[in-house]
Amino acid sequence: MRTAPPFELPPDVRQTFRRATRLEWWSLLFMCSCVPVVYLTLGQSQAMRAVLIQDVLGIIPSAAFLITARIRWRKPTQRFPYGYQRSVAIGFLTSAVSLVGLGALILFEALRTLAMREHPTVGVVELFGRQLWLGWLMFPALIYCLIGEYTFGQLKQPYALALHDKTLASDARMNRADWMTGVAAILGIIGLAAGWWWADALTAAIIAVEVLHDGWANLEQVIADLLDEVPTKAHEHECADWAEKLVARVRQLDWVRDADVRLREEGHIFTGEVYVVPRTTEELPRRNAELQRLARELDWRFHDLALVAVERLSS
């Protein structure tokens, strides 16, 4: 069986990818450090439990990026003739399903607590020989986490755009949700300190809604990718002008009377068919090589496009 040609990143993009990989390693280590920090100040707070769950889930996108970074560039084989670019969707799908499931669980528990009017018990700890309300320790733990999450989220966005990496873009959005969750949890703890028993459960419900929103958005995105949706921008779910640019460039070729394309997205790259009404059918193998070269010059994401000569383009 014929396999697709291996995909090679341009040198500048390869360097950007390496920087993004190093950033994700630092992000993964930081998110792993947040889990014990939050766990040690957990108490009986539902808001803190929701933060802990979201921090654990926040590890998944970084881990998925780093795992697929070692898989997606492997050469196509007889068993996988199209390569391994779709491995990105596996981690993306796992993260989305986890977010939806656990977000629903957190929301159910928070609403049940509000309905039953259960008053949370935060408790006290002994520190340096003194009794200290655990809520005061929650503040520095949350501040530590949200500062790092905000910083990493901001740093990842430019790399997600430059690499057209939706896993990285999803990770940046999740970091944004994480630090906003931390702010919400701080407000909930302040409410508990003021004697508002419902503040903790209400904050947990708000966090759960944010978790569900992220999970559902990611689930919609990965399902659309698996259904071969047209290529969309990494940072927002909207189509770009890649197809229009490619069609315009192909129509400029002297041997082309008319042209159209059908593109799909596979990880970082765009594949598909270029339909051409040729002025002549001579030297089509050379024309195919010319098409691959000009598409690559137009955008490094185009890869292994199929040249299809047709008598006319259907409307």
* Model confidence pLDDT, tens digit, residues 112-141: 777 877 666 665 556 665 656 666 778 888
Specify the higher pLDDT residue, 90 or 307.
307
Position 122 scores a pLDDT of 60
Distances (CA, A) of 58 to 12, 91, 200, 213: 29, 12, 22, 14
Residue keyed to tokens 């014929």: 2
Please tell me which residue, 241 or 247, carries the higher pLDDT value.
247
- In this prediction the pTM is 0.80
Q: Is pLDDT above 60 for 236?
A: no
Which of 97-101, 157-161, 185-189 is modeled with the greatest confidence? 157-161
Q: Tell me the mean pLDDT in the region 11-20.
A: 89
Average pLDDT over residues 11-38: 91
Looking at the chain, how many residues does it have?
315
| pLDDT surpassing 90 at residue 91 | no
Question: Do 185 and 48 touch, CB atoms closer than 8 A?
Answer: yes
Residue 283 has pLDDT above 70, yes or no: yes
C-alpha to C-alpha distance for 178 and 162, rounded to whole angstroms? 23
What region does 129 belong to: left with phi over 0, alpha with psi -120 to 50, or beta? Answer: left
On the 0-12 / 13-18 / 19+ scale of CB atoms within 10 A, 116 is: exposed
Q: Where does the pLDDT of residue 24 fall: very low under 50, low under 70, confident under 90, or very high at 90 and above?
A: very high
What are the distances in angstroms from CA 267 to CA 10, 67, 88, 235, 296?
A: 16, 13, 6, 14, 16
How far CA 23 is from CA of 18, 44, 137, 164, 168, in Å, comes to 9, 34, 29, 16, 10
Average pLDDT over the chain reads 81
Task: Tell me what the mean pLDDT of segment 17-37 comes to.
Answer: 92
